[in-house]
Amino acid sequence: MTITCMNPILYNAAAQGNIMAFKNHKFKRPLEALLTPNKNTILHIFITTLENMIELTEKNFVGDILNMCPSLLCQVNVKDETPLHVAARYGHANIIKVLIQHARYGHNQDLGSGAEAVREMLRMVNKEKDTALHEAVRYKHLEVVKLLIKEDPDFSYSVNDAGETPLYIALERNYENLVLEILKTCNSPAYDGPLGRTALHAAVFWDNKVTIKAIMEKIGGAITKKADQEGWTPLHLAAYSNWWWSTQLLLEYDSQVAYMKDKEGRTALHIAAHRGNNRVMESIIGMCPDCCELVDNRGWNALHFAVEGDVRTVSMILKNSSLSNLLNEKNAEGNTPLHHQYSRYSEDVNGDLMDHPRVDKMAFNKNNLNAYQVALTSAKLSPKKKMDIATKLRSRSKRVFLKEDENNITLDDVMKDEVKWWQARRKEYLEKAAETHLVVAALITTVTFAAAITMPGGFVGTGGDPHDNEGSAVLRRNAAFKAFIITDAISLVLSSSAVVTHLLMPLLLIKHYESDETRYDFLSLAFKFILMAMVAMVLAFVTGAYAVLVHSLDLIVTTCVIGSCFFLILYIIYELYKKNLGFSRICSSLYYFLCY
């Protein structure tokens, strides 16, 4: 295996632009044979390492080297990159001018053949099929782009291995100034992109009104109908991304694109309905109202897609009287949007569709089922949701179910399923509540026991009054301290009783065959013990604090008031509970009380 390498003295001279090292050195090999392992010539090295050298140095070194060895102008490295590729990538406009000058006049060519040599150099591609313009656009070098296009404005740059043209690269990166320069200077710019996309797809992706207008004015409105490999036009992409302005611009140039379908038969309106992009939908419907009649390959119309997507979009369609023809249209399986609503996975359904006066609640699909029956037979809805639907729709469905078919389900079956579902949920809640209660009860027991051992105010020590008993509580004659001891003892006993109740519950449930009612009774008893223990614990805290802080009036008053708030909060929760308010309402009420 032959490995090419360059003398380190010559490599450093090339990197530093030291022309004298090459003029004074007697080479054993010609300049074009001085190569790195990646076949980079001294021009590749100089251009790559060049940073802030003065303009004269750039021109002199590159020009002098080309005078010494003209073949280096188009000599490629292992990636088939010419010095022009590298200069375009790093944005060295002055070097590019020198390269173009040598291509035009390097061999004493006349004007015609010199221009041809320049075009040939500009159109050379590397192994990834990138031209110098591809590189300049990718790295956003505007001056280089202007220079390259000016030298060859008639060339329509083809795609590289990634399927990108220079125009597509600029649009995909949202380089607005480069896009406008290419469209202004190139006579016929190629606009292809990967996966069948066009430059307009890339412009719509960024919702850039300037570039969208410029593309359609330069290339023509026909580009709006160009679809990618999935059949998506730029309008499909705008509808998916909820770009209202892009939608408006595309439809103003060519409204016929609203009727185009992708490979699955979906129009842009279908995409917008599924995504819940109401403003885009209104724009499409306003300019092309009859496109609402189109269906996809499954026979779904826009309302089917809205039911599958966002419930707010369903409400928007229902309010539009011009879309009334969608309400009862059937898909390939004979399902109307109402059927589809109750066969989908989500339980967040829109009740407006069922209550709409123009919706046919008795419409039957190809399985001879109406929406009510579809809801009962759906395996994706919970028994509770089925029961809610059945309550609203059963009065409209008089068809009798026969039990000969195992797929037929009566209302009684649904009610039984709902009872089982609620029983399972209730058992789950009771088990979780029991775990929580046991933890709370054990915590209260621990706290009250520790409070009784530590004693507020401390203990009597040795050397004190002989009438005092050594080791007894200092505040034992204080009335507040006595109240503290009593309430603390009550809290300890009640919380311990709750712990014992939870410990005995499994044995008692086995004796009663694990009845849910028995489980609830024991849990309710333990809850009452815990609640009373908490009340006693708070009283113990207030009385204990009063006993030790009696000589600090402002502090004891504040502490007692704050401690008393517990009973007020408890009363508020009880009153809200009696009014059957939801959990969230109770929490929000307490939040406002605590804040204000």
Q: What is the pLDDT of residues 214-268, one digit of tens each?
A: 999 998 878 999 999 999 999 999 999 999 999 999 999 999 999 999 999 999 9
pLDDT at 115: 84
pLDDT at 76 over 70: yes
β-bridge partners, 245: none
**Whole-number pLDDT of residue 400:** 43
What integer pLDDT is reported at residue 156 of this predicted model?
85
Domains and CATH numbers, the chain: 1-153 (1.25.40.20), 430-461+468-595 (no CATH)
The SS3 call for residue 509 is helix
Query: Each residue of 424-433: pLDDT tens digit?
Result: 666 677 677 7
Which pLDDT score is estimated for 324? Answer: 86
| Cβ proximity of 290 and 270 under 8 Å | no
- CA–CA separation, 102 and 119 (whole Å): 13
Higher pLDDT, 155 or 376: 155
Examine the pLDDT at 151 and tell me if it is beyond 80: yes
Token pair 């706290």: residue: 447
Bridge-partner residues for 198, per DSSP? 192
pLDDT above 90 (res 173): yes
Asked whether the predicted pLDDT for residue 569 surpasses 80, the reply is no
Helix (H, G, I), strand (E, B) or coil at 192: strand
136-to-133, 202, 208, 565 alpha-carbon distances in Å:
5, 19, 22, 72
pLDDT of 319 reads 87
Low-confidence winner among 63-67, 168-172, 406-410 (lowest mean pLDDT): 406-410
Q: Report helix, strand and coil shares of the chain as percent, to nearest 5.
A: 65, 0, 35
Asked if the model's pLDDT at residue 411 lies above 60, the reply is: no
Selected residue with higher pLDDT from 24 and 529: 529
- Residue 409 is predicted with a pLDDT of 52
With 50 as the cut, is the pLDDT of residue 407 above it?
Answer: no
Regarding predicted confidence, which is higher, 562 or 474?
562
Higher pLDDT, 13 or 396: 13
pLDDT at 289 over 60: yes
| Mean pLDDT of all residues belonging to the chain | 81
Contact status, residue 99 vs residue 63, Cβ threshold 8 Å? no
What is residue 199's predicted lDDT score, i.e. its pLDDT? 93
Whether residue 350 is predicted with pLDDT greater than 70 in this model: the reply is no
pLDDT digits (tens, 9 = 90+) for 368-392: 888 777 777 666 666 666 666 666 6
- pLDDT-based confidence at residue 55 (cuts at 50, 70, 90): very low
Per-residue pLDDT band at 406 (split at 50, 70, 90) = very low
Collapsing DSSP to helix, strand or coil, 189 comes out as coil
pLDDT at 421 over 70: no
291 or 476, which is more confident?
Answer: 291
Neighbours of 435 (CB within 10 A): 11
Burial of 223 (0-12, 13-18, 19+ CB in 10 A): buried
Q: CA-based angle 309:313:317, to the nearest 5? A: 130
pLDDT for res 416: 57
pLDDT score of 180 more than 70: yes
| Max avg pLDDT among 39-48, 305-314, 491-500 | 39-48
Separation CA 132–CA 74 (nearest Å): 12
Percent of the chain at pLDDT > 70 equals 77
Q: Give the tokens for residue 37.
A: 């392992």
**DSSP 8-state symbol, 34:** -
Q: What is the per-residue pLDDT for 422?
A: 58
